[in-house]
Amino acid sequence: MTGFWRGAGTQTRAAMLMLLALALAALVVPALAHTDPLAIGDALALRLLPPLSVDVTHHFHLLGTDSFGRDLFVRAMLAGRLSLAVGIAGSALAGAVGIAVGAIGGWAGGMLDRTAMAVGDVLLAIPRLVILLVCAALWPPGATMVITILVLTGWMGVARLVRGEVRGLRARPFVEGAHAMGASPARVLWRHVLPNALAPAIVAIALGVGSAVLLESGLSFLGLGIQPPQPSWGNMIADGREMIVLAPWIALAPGIALILTVLSCTLLGDALRDRLAGDELETMRARS
Amino acid sequence: MRSALRQLVVAIALFWVVLSLTFFLVRAAPGDPVAFLAPPAASAPELARLRAALDLDAPLPVQYARWARDVFEGNLGTSFVAHRSVTSVLGDAIPISLALGGISLLLTFVIGVAIGSVQGAHRGTRVDSALTVVTTTIYAAPSFWLALSLIALFTYGAARLDLPSWLRLPAFGVRDPAGDSGVVDLVRHAVLPVATLTLVGAAGIARYARTSVVELLRLQWVRTAVAKGVPARSVHARHVLANALPTLLILFALALPGVLAGSVFVETVFGWPGVGRLMVSSIFARDYPVVVGATVVYAALVILANLAADLALPLVDARRRT
């Protein structure tokens, strides 16, 4: 990790710091805030304050207040807990399923492999959002449901990547060597093949966090994901939709936190990918 | 020719699997559409009659067989809510989505490839990094947020900035109910939805196009052309763009799902009665036949786009001709 930091460009460092700051703020801000982000107080005095304003009780509102007088910054950070958790869990679990399917399929080959890849192709042929919508329509909404369908619709890319790597590694001399030394197939897969096959999967998972956060916000925006009063970035934006003409900051402020998160994930994923591509070039040069 | 036929068969099979998957998914879900549709005071025989009318009382394989036969005859069932055939409900929505999506896809493609090419040709310059910041940020923004930002700009912002009246674009619906309903009015209503879809799509395409232009510029014949003194302009036109055609085709197929997904949100926010909005409202109304129908439309479009790209690739890429 320190090595990654030292080798990272300014852009990557900014992305890492931004994610860290957002995660910290999501944990700390709602706990330290002087107002309850869910409770409705003196709505008439506090409602619809624009960003950067000071209210009658001399409290500062960085992003303004909503139509119930709740502080939008505190609410956005509280929403960040759930949105980030769902995004990370969704992408990581989808990645884990993808690694398992890809590794076993690529290692075993045959019918198992072909079936798994065919199922993946079918799921890839439908736009992910459409499957998400159908599932969200049919099962009761909530965080668990969103994570489940993120996993069900998100494992195929990683599975394909890992399968390709595993198949490539199967014939390499060090794998043959491990077999010859008497290691069981499971041990060879686990100790020798998998560690060498994971790099592209890790990039895909990092990039996947951003798109998982985006998809969650989309479902919640449509009212099919996280349900109010529990705030998520998506349902906060939906909340502000009616007031867009009078108080546009209610809808737009939570979006800024969302965009910063997705942007940071994309930049980090890109940097990881460039780094891995660089490493591969290095090893290729070293070998030739 | 053999492989083209094979690809066609695979595409049709894939389409059928997607159709069946949606059919079973809808029926596997908890919740009874009959309980949802019937009036609360309905008696047991009334519920049974409704169940029979909706063809939900037969065993699942029988339902599937009947449904498959109907689909072959072009019959996707009857909407629970609109009490019309799903095909006619979709028939009203598809042209609206196609118009919105088609114009946006075209603009997405032209603008995205143009931006990506400029970036690739001027790699590492200030122009390149500025455009990267812009495209990556827009790419990170959800389409509904961009849509709301544009609405805020042209309502809240327009009032603050005192914009001239022709620039105050309508933010909802397809037609102005009170005013004239001419072409001008329609175009004015289309500006913001098309702009939103194009922004999201072009940002994504520009990122891909930049990478492929950079890769093409590294190729040996391009470097040879530069080395022997061919002017930069004709290197880009003759050597880079001509060889980028296969990549561009793949990009076109890649851009379509993004525009489709975006259209779900854009139609919802701007109140355009297209397939995306129809799908969302049918989900809330538990109108399963329409949900399945809309899914079919989306899947068919994506599979068709991929098939078209696969079939067209050998035509533009001599290396793939056998």
Please say if the pLDDT value at position A287 is more than 70: no
Quote the minimal CA–CA distance from B240 to chain A in Å: 23
Q: Which of B311, B317, B302, B249 has the alpha carbon at shortest distance from B2?
A: B311
What pLDDT does A98 receive? 93
What pLDDT does A89 receive? 93
A65-90 average pLDDT score: 83
Q: Which of A58-67, A249-258, B150-159, B256-265 has the highest mean pLDDT?
A: A249-258
Name the pLDDT band for B319 (thresholds 50, 70, 90). low
Angle at A221 between CA A78 and CA B281, to 5 degrees: 155
Please say if the pLDDT value at position A55 is more than 70: no
Least confident segment among A85-99, B39-53, B138-152: B39-53
Looking at residue B138, its amino acid is I
DSSP H or E stretch at residue B247: helix B242-270
Residue ranges of domains in chain B, CATH in brackets: 93-320 (1.10.3720.10)
Q: How far is CA B293 from the centre of its chain?
A: 15
B64 touching A, CB under 8 A? no
What pLDDT does B179 receive? 62
Phi, psi of B304 (to 5 degrees): -60, -45
Q: Is residue A143 part of a domain?
A: yes
Judging contacts by C-beta atoms under 8 Å, the chain A residues touching residue B286 are: 137
Contact: A122, B139; criterion CB under 8 Å = no
Nearest residue in A to B155, CA atom: A245
Q: Is residue A205 part of a domain?
A: yes
Q: Is residue A277 part of a domain?
A: yes
What pLDDT does B46 receive? 75
Residues 249-268 of chain B with CB under 8 A from chain A are: 257, 260-261, 264-265, 268
Please say if the pLDDT value at position B255 is more than 80: no
Least confident segment among A15-24, A104-113, B230-239: B230-239
> Left, alpha or beta for A71 (phi > 0: left; psi -120 to 50: alpha)?
beta
Instruction: Calculate the average pLDDT of chain B.
Output: 80
Least confident segment among A133-142, A166-175, B263-272: A133-142
User: What is the DSSP track for B230-246?
Assistant: --HHHIIIIIIIHHHHH
Supply B139's token pair.
Answer: 């790419």
DSSP summary character for residue B320:
G
What pLDDT does A58 receive? 65
Spatial distance between the Cα atoms of B297 and B290, rounded to a whole number of angstroms: 10
For chain A, what is the domain count? 1
What pLDDT does B253 receive? 74
Q: How far is CA B161 from the centre of its chain?
A: 34
Least confident segment among A15-29, B95-109, B173-187, B201-215: B173-187
Judging contacts by C-beta atoms under 8 Å, the chain A residues touching residue B30 are: 138-140
Name the pLDDT band for B16 (thresholds 50, 70, 90). confident
Judging contacts by C-beta atoms under 8 Å, the chain B residues touching residue A222 are: 264-265, 268, 280
Please say if the pLDDT value at position A224 is more than 90: no
What pLDDT does A146 receive? 87
Instruction: Calculate the average pLDDT of chain A.
Output: 81
Q: Is residue A1 part of a domain?
A: no
Q: Is residue A194 part of a domain?
A: yes
Please say if the pLDDT value at position A1 is more than 60: no
Q: Is residue A234 part of a domain?
A: yes
**High-pLDDT (> 90) share of chain B, %:** 4
Please say if the pLDDT value at position B126 is more than 50: yes
What pLDDT does A268 receive? 85
Please say if the pLDDT value at position B82 is more than 60: yes
Please say if the pLDDT value at position A284 is more than 60: no
Spatial distance between the Cα atoms of A16 and B6, rounded to a whole number of angstroms: 47
CATH number for the domain harbouring residue A184: 1.10.3720.10
Phi, psi of A224 (to 5 degrees): -110, 0
Supply A6's token pair.
Answer: 């030292």
Q: Which of B239, B254, B176, B163 has the alpha carbon at shortest distance from B209?
A: B254
Q: Is residue A3 part of a domain?
A: no
Q: Which residues of B212-236 are buried (b: 16+ CB within 10 A; e: fewer)?
A: bbbebbeeeebeebeeeeeeeeebb
Q: Which residues of B298-307 are buried (b: 16+ CB within 10 A; e: fewer)?
A: bbebbbebbb
B297-308 average pLDDT score: 83
Instruction: Give the list of residues 6+ apart from residue A173 with CB closer than 8 angstroms, or none.
Output: none
Spatial distance between the Cα atoms of B79 and B96, rounded to a whole number of angstroms: 19
Supply B269's token pair.
Answer: 């926010």
Please say if the pLDDT value at position B120 is more than 80: yes
What pLDDT does A288 receive? 45
Supply B183's token pair.
Answer: 């072409």
Contact: B264, A133; criterion CB under 8 Å = yes
Q: Which residues constitute the domain of residue A240?
A: 8-36+44-287
Least confident segment among A206-220, A269-283, B121-135: A269-283
Spatial distance between the Cα atoms of B112 and B135, rounded to a whole number of angstroms: 9
- Which of B18, B148, B152 is facing A122, going by the closest CB pair? B18
Spatial distance between the Cα atoms of A137 and A145, rounded to a whole number of angstroms: 11
Q: Is residue A2 part of a domain?
A: no
User: What is the DSSP track for A118-169?
Assistant: HHHHHHHHS-HHHHHHHHHHHS--SHHHHHHHHHHTTSHHHHHHHHHHHHHH
What pLDDT does A94 receive? 93
Q: Which of B56-60, B83-87, B177-181 has the highest mean pLDDT?
A: B83-87
Residue-wise pLDDT tens digits, B181-222:
677 777 778 888 999 999 988 888 888 888 888 888 777 777
Please say if the pLDDT value at position B84 is more than 80: yes
Q: What is the pTM of this model?
A: 0.83
Spatial distance between the Cα atoms of B200 and B137, rounded to a whole number of angstroms: 10
Q: Which of A48-52, A147-151, B38-42 has the highest mean pLDDT?
A: A147-151
Q: How many residues does chain B have?
A: 322
B10-16 average pLDDT score: 84
B37-42 average pLDDT score: 67
